[in-house]
Amino acid sequence: MVVLQKAIQKVKNDKDGLVNIFSDSRSSLEVSTSPETYHPLAHPTRRDIFENVAEGKAYFGLEPFLKQFEMMSQITQTLTGHVEFPHYLFRFKLKDSPYCVCDPAKEQDVPHTAFARSKYARERVYMLIEIDNGVGRQLEK
């Protein structure tokens, strides 16, 4: 909750415009947007959110946000490496080995799975095409 509040404060004081804040703490997000909360940190956080909305720096609608929460949670897990791959599970003794089945010399982590595993070659090509198209559209603007 404190980290979320500090991130929102940074957006409030920043001059950049559009900023994305990723969080995997659903409870903090729900508490900070609920009008019926009694948590002392929720009130300044909610005030900052609504000030940013009023200034046009943020759009925050709870219903669309919660619908997208699962995807945001997956993105956050992937970006932080907290995905259920052998590399991560081995750290907690939930897997016997951190190594990938495709190459016993390589640990199966996010970069290996996304960029090296032949099993995902087709998806990787589609992803690169989408990224290239997105970058091209950004450059045209």
Convert the pLDDT of each residue in 56-68 to its tens digit.
545 445 555 556 6
Neighbours of 28 (CB within 10 A): 19
Rounded Cα gap, residues 30 and 48, in angstroms: 15
Domain boundaries, the chain: 2-65, 83-140
The SS3 call for residue 99 is strand
Cross-strand partners of 107: 99
* C-alpha of 14 from chain center: 20
* C-alpha of 127 from chain center: 18
Predicted TM-score (pTM) of the model is: 0.44
Q: Of 132 and 56, which is predicted with more confidence?
A: 132
Per DSSP, 97 falls in state: -
pLDDT digits (tens, 9 = 90+) for 66-104: 566 667 777 888 888 888 999 999 999 999 999 999 989
